[in-house]
Amino acid sequence: MINSLLNKLLKLKNSHLLICDLIIFSITPLLALLLRLDGDLDIQTYILELAIATILFLVVKLSVFGSFGFYRRYWRYASIEELIYIAMLMVGAVVIQIMLFDVLTNILNQFPFTDTLPRSLPFIDGLLSCILIGALRFSFRAVERVSQREPVFNSQQRVLIIGAGSAGVSLLQEMQRNPQLGLYPVAFIDDDPRKLNARIRGIPVLGDRYQIPKWVQSLHIQKAIVAMPTVTGKVIREIVDICKATGVQTSTLPGIHEILNGRVRVDSIRDVRIEDLLRREPIQTDIERVSKFLNGKTVLITGSGGSIGSELCRQIFKSQPARIILIGHGENSVFNIQQELEQLIQVLNKDGKSLKKAPHIYTFIADIRFRSRLKYAFERFQPDVIFHAAAHKHVPLMELNPPEAITNNVIGTKNLLELALEYDVKHFVMISTDKAVNPTNVMGASKRVAEMLVLQAAKESGKHYVTVRFGNVLGSRGSVVPTFKKQIATGGPVTVTHPDICRYFMTIPEAVQLVLQAGVLGHSGEVLMLNMGEPVKIVDLAQELIRLSGYEVNKDIDIVFTGLRPGEKLFEELFIKGEEYEPTQHKKLFVVKNASRIIPKNLMVIVEDLCKAAAYNDALSILFLLEQLIPGYTPDYSTANHQADAAKENNMNRNYVQEIEASVVKR
């Protein structure tokens, strides 16, 4: 019956509503007069004046409403904005009615057979009109709301929403508007005592997180959704543990870093991930300053198809640069991010939210080790800002392949810097790693050399060239999380190198937000260090992933310790001896003020030798040269010695070896 009534209401057009309004406006002056006189009305006494006033008020209201497009609105989705709109139009109409009513009263007072109408009549008439036309239009929403509260028990899951904030309420609205999704909201859970026993859109707030087991059982809850995108991972872990103890299916909304469009929707709901359990307080980014920095510029991003590079593309896109140049070696990954950005432009245009001037997206497949190819990109696009995210970052693989680490991380960075200086690029931001701090492996050492090159270029040119360091990124291709997930999917075991090994973790959106902020705050020749929070034990990470996958640790899935790999250390460090760290305007960013003053004087000479050693695949010389360049770095020569023996057997170029030896002796 309710659905039938809703269907009939939805068939009403604005022309039908206009007829209804004419009827309402015709009777409200009479009702207003009855209210004013407490029902003691002799209609014969006021009939002429009332008829004239009714016609006058009708003309005024229809003129005001028609002039402001009132009859071009679609009322099925009426909200508080429409209610305010009705009230404002009615206030305007009442003001005009009062002025004209005074004129009418003065004219009618000259006729002895008339009796003066009450001066409050225009106001009471306007109030009644506002109530009645508002009630008529909001009846659409009222009937629809009632129909939404009738669950189809055979197909809908009974849902408990954990979090009665704006995200939870938005989620509730989506569920109520779309019953076909099969989610029937039953109640809220919220830790705020002020909300206890309150009702939000007809749904009660029943208690805090510790009462979840009670209400799950008594209300026959089938699904719990954590709608708290801004709380920390500690809170999420506690709530997930409570929900899992009850056996109820648990999902969540993404963290605030993942919600890019500012609106929470039902299709945002997903399973709880490890990123949620490690979530920290949301970062307060100076979005306006970042947007002003990038707006209208040509931005070049290396490694644009990677996990960090692609997220840089997404977030930079929102600042409306003139052009985004996607440089990457892997054609498939670059193609994917290009398609994603192009589709975003199409969606914004379709939704009527098109950017004033959408950035042009250009793809450029190139290996940064080949200077001639990069030079063509600089010549063609003339970039204003460079974000350098391309790098080899797998520690064990680079330990076995030192020449590749040097050619990509060192020579690639050197090529970019030389071309950036040649083409007068004003801003250069290189993404480094915490493994460059007191490195114990080739990957970290190569990134430390790349840092030195950036600082040297900044020192010589005075341009805004900076380096940003941060730790492991959850969900990136080099993260342990994908490896653990694959191991769990195959039934285990999950392999961890050491029971005490710890790492610093960030989510990809969080890391990129800070990189962009660092690009704005950093000055020439600075290293900026992201505040990584507290380190996380890898074994704890593995245990949480096993539980999230629905298994028990060491019962369904075992954890096996395999021993530290070459170049790996138990604890990552954040500070280099001699560096002076100071806070910046952003509480999550620190700056190394004296970074440019601790660059070795013979940097470029050793880098040239490194390039030669890499060209001849001489791993032994690479390790030796890195040891000379980076204080405290002690390489593992065992693997390199094996490679050197093989090279001797293959009669490696003797002139080159003599050249390297002579260079080292000279220094």
Q: What is the pLDDT of residues 579-598, one digit of tens each?
A: 666 767 776 777 776 665 67
Residues 6 or more apart whose Cβ sits within 8 Å of residue 426 = 384, 385, 463, 464
Same domain? For 40 and 127 the reply is yes
Residue 515 belongs to some domain of the structure: yes
Q: What is the mean pLDDT of residues 305-330?
A: 91
- Per-residue pLDDT for 106 more than 60? yes
Confidence at residue 385, expressed as pLDDT on a 0 to 100 scale: 94
Same domain? For 128 and 175 the reply is no
**74 CB neighbour count, 10 Å cutoff:** 9
The pLDDT confidence band at residue 614, using thresholds 50, 70 and 90, is: very high
Q: Any idea what the CATH number is for the domain that residue 464 is in? A: 3.40.50.720
Confidence at residue 578, expressed as pLDDT on a 0 to 100 scale: 67
Same domain? For 299 and 402 the reply is yes
Q: What is the mean pLDDT of residues 28-42?
A: 79
Confidence at residue 114, expressed as pLDDT on a 0 to 100 scale: 46
With contact defined as beta carbons under 8 Å apart, do 442 and 626 qualify? Answer: yes
Alpha carbon of 467 to those of 114, 291, 390, 428, 590: distances in Å? 87, 20, 13, 8, 12
Same domain? For 220 and 338 the reply is no
Number of domains the chain is built from: 4
Residue 535 belongs to some domain of the structure: no
Q: What is the mean pLDDT of residues 612-631?
A: 90
User: What percent of the chain clears pLDDT 70, i.e. is strictly above it?
Assistant: 79
Same domain? For 214 and 103 the reply is no
635 preceded by cis ω (within 30°)? no
**Stronger pLDDT, 261 or 139, i.e. the higher one:** 139
Residue 17 belongs to some domain of the structure: yes
Alpha carbon of 401 to those of 143, 404, 445: distances in Å? 69, 6, 13
Q: What is the mean pLDDT of residues 433-438?
A: 85
Same domain? For 235 and 109 the reply is no
Residue 478 belongs to some domain of the structure: no
Same domain? For 215 and 164 the reply is yes
The pLDDT confidence band at residue 355, using thresholds 50, 70 and 90, is: low
Q: Which residue, of 544, 563, 598, is where some domain finishes? A: 598
Reported residue count of the chain is 667
Confidence at residue 448, expressed as pLDDT on a 0 to 100 scale: 92
Same domain? For 51 and 184 the reply is no
Confidence at residue 17, expressed as pLDDT on a 0 to 100 scale: 76
User: What range defines the domain where residue 363 resides?
Assistant: 287-472+506-529+573-598
**Stronger pLDDT, 503 or 268, i.e. the higher one:** 503
Confidence at residue 263, expressed as pLDDT on a 0 to 100 scale: 46
**Stronger pLDDT, 78 or 451, i.e. the higher one:** 451
- DSSP result, 259-310: --SS---GGG-EE--HHHHT--SPP---HHHHHHHHTT-EEEEETTTSHHHH
Confidence at residue 68, expressed as pLDDT on a 0 to 100 scale: 82
- Per-residue pLDDT for 158 more than 50? yes
Confidence at residue 474, expressed as pLDDT on a 0 to 100 scale: 73
Q: Which residue, of 148, 183, 211, is where some domain finishes? A: 148
Same domain? For 235 and 384 the reply is no
Which token pair is 459? 């020192």
Same domain? For 645 and 622 the reply is yes
Confidence at residue 654, expressed as pLDDT on a 0 to 100 scale: 46
Confidence at residue 5, expressed as pLDDT on a 0 to 100 scale: 47
Residue 492 belongs to some domain of the structure: no
Confidence at residue 262, expressed as pLDDT on a 0 to 100 scale: 43
Confidence at residue 389, expressed as pLDDT on a 0 to 100 scale: 93
The pLDDT confidence band at residue 143, using thresholds 50, 70 and 90, is: low
Confidence at residue 268, expressed as pLDDT on a 0 to 100 scale: 61
Q: What is the pLDDT of residues 255-311, one digit of tens each?
A: 655 544 444 555 566 667 776 666 666 556 667 788 888 988 999 999 999 888 999
**Counting Cβ atoms within 10 Å, is residue 151 exposed (0-12), middle (13-18) or buried (19+)?**
middle
Q: How far is Cα 71 from Cα 403, in angstroms, rounded to an integer?
A: 72
Which token pair is 112? 């002895």
pTM of the prediction? 0.66
Q: How far is Cα 294 from Cα 174, in angstroms, rounded to an integer?
A: 35
- Mean pLDDT (the chain, rounded): 80
User: What percent of the chain clears pLDDT 90, i.e. is strictly above it?
Assistant: 20
Alpha carbon of 48 to those of 51, 58, 287, 418: distances in Å? 5, 15, 64, 91
Q: Which is the catalytic residue, given 195, 297, 414, 435?
A: 435
Of 42-46, 167-171, 612-616, which range is least confident?
42-46
Q: Which residue, of 554, 581, 598, is where some domain finishes? A: 598
- DSSP lists the bridge partners of residue 180 as none
Residue 367 belongs to some domain of the structure: yes
Q: How far is Cα 281 from Cα 190, in angstroms, rounded to an integer?
A: 18
- Per-residue pLDDT for 94 more than 60? yes
Alpha carbon of 312 to those of 431, 434, 444, 524: distances in Å? 11, 19, 22, 21
Confidence at residue 2, expressed as pLDDT on a 0 to 100 scale: 45
Residue 480 belongs to some domain of the structure: no
Judge whether 435 counts as a catalytic residue: yes
Confidence at residue 447, expressed as pLDDT on a 0 to 100 scale: 93
The pLDDT confidence band at residue 659, using thresholds 50, 70 and 90, is: low
Same domain? For 190 and 106 the reply is no
Q: What is the mean pLDDT of residues 521-535?
A: 76
DSSP H/E element including 384: none
Same domain? For 260 and 299 the reply is no
Alpha carbon of 187 to those of 154, 284, 664: distances in Å? 19, 31, 73
**Stronger pLDDT, 549 or 189, i.e. the higher one:** 189
Q: What is the mean pLDDT of residues 529-555?
A: 80
Residue 589 belongs to some domain of the structure: yes
